[in-house]
Amino acid sequence: MEEINKEEQAVVNKQEIQTTNQNVNDTNSTTTTNEQTSDGVETKKPPFKKRKPKPKTNPNANNAVVNQQKGEGWITDLKKAHLINEKIHRDRLNPHYKLNLNTASKLKITPLGGLGEIGGNMMVIESDNEAIIVDVGMSFPDENMHGVDILIPDFTYIREIKDKIVGIIITHGHEDHIGAMPYLFKEMQFPVYGTSLPLEMIGSKLDEHKMREHRSYLRAIQKRTPIKIGEFEVEWIHVTHSIIDCSCIAVTTEAGTMIHTGDFKIDHTPYDGLPTDLHRLAHYGEKGVLLLTSDSTNSHAPGFTRTEKTVGPTFDRLFAGAKGRILMSTFSSNIHRVAQAIERAITFGRKICVIGRSMEKNLDLAMTLGYIKFPKDQFIEAHEVNKYNDKEVLIVTTGSQGESMSALYRMAIHEHRHIKIKPDDQIILSAKAIPGNEASVSGIINHLLKAGAKVAYQDYGDIHVSGHASQEEQKLMLRLVKPKFFLPVHGEYNHALKHGQTGIDCGVLERNVYIMSDGEQIEVSPKYLKKVKTVKTGKVYIDNQLNNKISDDVILDRQTMANEGVVMIVAQINENDRTMAQRPKVTSFGLVPDKQDKFFSKEIEDLLTTFLENVKPGILKNNRILEDELRKVVRKHCTRKYKKYPMIVPTIFVQ
């Protein structure tokens, strides 16, 4: 019995020891000094024996198993993963660490047109040794610029750096980006790089100005293929706009990469199926972009700009409901808009007649180069329109802005040689009035309505869509490119200011955003952006009839004559007795009514008599000084009595 009890006791002791050891292992305890022999008997270690030092471990590792069981270890791992992902987000949103901060290279950006206005776009990108020009555009005059057809940028700064310029970069074929090219080439010539359609448009302009030999400077490029132009590596990236074959450009230099969007919108479903190349923009964004200059025109418009295909269903409804001829007018450069109208015309069995010099030229270029394809037998000439029933004709023409010399305007007032507006005509004005043209557009609509035609304009919300990016598209561009510095361009000051705020909202530091003005030269490097100087800029007035410049003083004189009138004085004076040999001849225009001419002449005669009595003797010996003094006296009189500042033209003969 005692042996059995001893064996049972030994088993119990063995189980207790195993349980104790298990607890020790679970708690990583080091306080136990008991050991179990092979026969189950407990022995004690000598108290004097020195313990071996244990390897260093994380103090928190002792509780790893327990924490794991409680979920605390899992939370720790999640926190570590979050910190890693947070750093990844910072790096991807701000890839500025990829810029070379040790470089001494820098870029200078000098806009010569296109800021604080719509049109006249021209910008110089300059390194220490070389420079390129981006676009050479024109703008249109206001109503006070009498006899002026177009405005072009002042080329003074281009003349100063002529030897540095290695090429001209073209983004697209709109007049406000290429219209001034012939006038620049009359003074100096540089290689011109761009896609096919803009280059052919420039070539056509050179032909008109009898400079066909300068076509040799045109260089066609391939998109997505960087090329070296001097020190600059330039790549054209496809974007959508209201004209086909539009590009933004990436300019890579030692200082870093600059992205210039040109005019753009992000149309995911364009008419030709070629959306904006977002992948290439993102490619440069991942590499790290030093500077972004971006289109600001629609910066106040929320959301997205509607796709060009939006107008298609509207055309369908109008074509289906038309009882007579259809006359569609839009911008001559909007080839895809015209193509959609032609497509509907063919569907509804209508022949197409294209009227308007610019419309004919642009459509012919697009079809010749293969951008759009339509059978030529569907097109007829203007003199053939009357051979067809009204339901069988579509007339595509210019004049959407109410220009007095446009084909549509002449049709409306019955002055066109072949086409006159009929009561059953359906007019489609697929365009929006350019700021300043509202009165002209309203005027042509009135003429069309008086002729009895139906006019589809603003009452159809989807009859026109913009070619410029709205806020959400601007945000997408900023997020794709992720620039360190941001310069809003193309638009009025309020547009640029709003766009700058959008840039700040999209992660660009406020100190890295600058609102430029024409003539301001901005220097940028990976470390800083600052204004360094202001260059001479402005507008040059052009008379298209003569293809000549008009002097500033001529324009000022015209404005004065139009607004204030003119007074011409012819008089003979006796130097000795300071009297008039005979009554002066006084003629005025735009100052007083015709019935008051005699009274006004008497006023000037009395004024001249008093002037001669009090004039200094020496002045009579110098005709130029004498006429200047008389001019001041007459102007003072007109200002005091008539509240006008007329042009005074005195002619004095001293005997």
pLDDT in tens, 276-306: 999 999 999 999 999 999 999 999 999 999 9
Residue 458, pLDDT score: 75
| pLDDT per 10-residue tile (average), the chain, 655 residues | 46 47 44 42 50 56 55 83 90 85 94 91 96 95 81 95 97 95 95 96 94 96 96 97 96 96 96 96 95 96 95 94 93 93 95 93 93 93 93 93 85 89 92 80 91 86 91 97 96 95 96 96 96 94 78 83 88 81 87 87 88 80 85 89 88 83
The pLDDT score that the predictor gives to residue 560 is: 83
Global confidence as pTM: 0.81
The whole-number pLDDT of residue 470 equals 97
pLDDT tens-digit readout, 300-343: 999 999 999 999 999 999 999 999 999 999 998 999 999 999 99
Query: What's the pLDDT at 94?
Result: 84
DSSP-assigned letter for residue 62? G
Check residue 66 and give its pLDDT. 56
**Lookup result for tokens 């910066």:** 299
In order of 80, 320, 342, 372, 500, the CA distances from 379 in angstroms are 70, 20, 10, 14, 47
In 3-state terms, what secondary structure has residue 101?
Answer: coil
| pLDDT score of 53 | 60
Q: In residues, how long is the chain?
A: 655
Res 50: pLDDT: 53
Handedness of CA 622, 624, 627, 628 (dihedral sign): negative
Give yes or no for a contact between 278 and 264, defined as CB atoms under 8 angstroms apart. Answer: no
SS (H, E, C) 241-297: CCCCCEEEEEEEECCEEEEECCCCECCCCCCCCCCCCHHHHHHHHHHCEEEEEEECC
Measured CA to CA in angstroms, residue 121 lies from 11, 136, 155, 436, 468 at distances of: 99, 6, 12, 18, 15
In whole angstroms, what is the distance from residue 40 CA to residue 575 CA?
149
